[in-house]
Structure 1
Amino acid sequence: MRFALVDELRAERFRFIETLEGLSDEEFDSGTTLCAGWAPRDVLGHVIGFDYLLGSYLPYGTRIHAANQAQAERARMMSRRRLMEWARHWAANPSLTARLALPLALGDLGVHHQDVLRGLGLRRQVPDAVATAIFREGMQLSLWMNRRVLTHRLVPTDGHRPVGRGRQVRGTREAIGMWLAGRDSVAKELEFSS
């Protein structure tokens, strides 16, 4: 199972790179994403930064947002060509940090890939393993950010058992996960009931 997730992580990284390579320079440098204030290049800088946990996060202690912003700023200082070269190396060679936290790494990447696509009005078929990872990532982020996971019964319509109790939310694993992760624009794809 772990090896399958490493392969899926690599595959999703290369799918993300493919998405980014399809963007114009303007979209890459200043396109809208679901991450407020971040363009696609900033999102890429952040997801690459996850692999370098010690250097990227530990200097900031508990100030995770500051660490994320520093990753985005580092990516802004690179040319698109250089950043994409780094991204291809990152995609092929997951770090020890990413390998030790595979479900988290895949979920974070899946959410951020969707942040870029949805922000630009693009869609894709989300692979099954990535949809599950986004759903799990959303549940984890919700505990920290908005507590939605504690007050809703989550009913995925595409192959996961229901989770939780409270007001029912129905939709795909990807849409529920994105909503739990604070992407409120996805709520229109969900069905809410008492």
Structure 2
Amino acid sequence: MTLPLERELRAERRRLIATLDQLPDDAFESGRTLCAEWSPRDVLGHLLAVDDFAASYLPYGPFLHAANRKQVKKARRLPRERLMARAREWADRPSLSSRVGAVIALGDLAIHHQDIVRGLGLRRDLPATVPTFILWDGALLSLSTNLRVLRYRVVPTDGHPEIGIRSPRTREVLGTREALGMWLAGRDSVTDELVFT
């Protein structure tokens, strides 16, 4: 049985693999991303681990950074060919937890895909629905990290309802869904794409 957004999740995973396949070894192994201290291979290692959330993350409780470090370290031990083979299987057969939580998994995946693309100075055309998932996931991440989603009224300029409370004391931030979502998720390098009022 295909669950809602499962096709979109698989499609975005395949698009990420296509991006990684195009990278030369040095960029794959040590290229810059928007995730501090993570290369494209490290981002992929993290994403693969999320598919087995119960085993990879639940034992760490609220200490997600420790879980991330362990999963990235584990992935660094694999040669590129084996890591990419695992990624192809991951793309074709998402775990039940990722399929059930596809709205969250898809947003996290799309943000991390943009972390790689933007960090390496590459360009990609985003499918129409992907920026919305980036925005939603950015808003969720903001609630647990920087609280920007509570301090600003977020106003997408590309066709999505505003997020936040309209108040004389609340500043507004305007931009595309993708840029706003990345900023809400803590990627400050996109700030120059936004307008603050």
String of CA shifts for 1:37-62, please: whole Å, max 9, x gaps: 00000000001111101210122222
Aligned residues: 192
- Given that 2:3 and 2:99 are in contact with CA atoms closer than 8 Å, whether structure 1 keeps it comes out as no
Distance 2:42 2:158 in 1: 31
Using the TM superposition, give the Cα deviation of residue 3 of structure 1 relative to its aligned residue in structure 2, in angstroms.
3.8
Equivalences for residues 6-155 of structure 1 within 5 A: 6-155=6-155
| Aligned counterpart in structure 2 of residue 190 of structure 1, from 179, 187, 194 | 194
Structure-2 separation of matches of 1:130 and 1:6 = 13
Using the TM superposition, give the Cα deviation of residue 179 of structure 1 relative to its aligned residue in structure 2, in angstroms: 0.1
Percent of residue pairs bearing the same amino acid type: 57
For structure 1, the residue ranges without an aligned partner over 5 or more in a row are none
Contact 2:152 2:172 in 1 (8 A): yes
Unpaired segments ≥5 residues, structure 2? none
1:173 is matched with which residue: 177, 182, 185? 177
Q: Is this contact kept in 1: 2:3–2:100, CA < 8 A? A: no
Greater than 2 Å deviation, 4+ residue runs: none
Aligned-pair Cα RMSD in Å: 1.0
Measured against aligned partners, the alpha-carbon deviations of 1:68-97 in whole angstroms (never above 9, x if no partner) come to 111111110000000000000000001011
Q: Which amino acid aligns with 1:188?
A: D
Displacement after TM superposition at 1:4 (Å): 5.0
In 2, distance between residues paired with 1:23 and 1:126?
A: 19
Cα distance between partner residues in 2 of 1:10 and 1:20: 15
Q: What amino acid maps onto 1:133 in structure 2?
A: F
Report the TM-score when normalising by structure 1. Answer: 0.96
Letter paired with 1:176: L
How many angstroms apart in 2 are the aligned matches of 1:70 and 1:54? Answer: 14
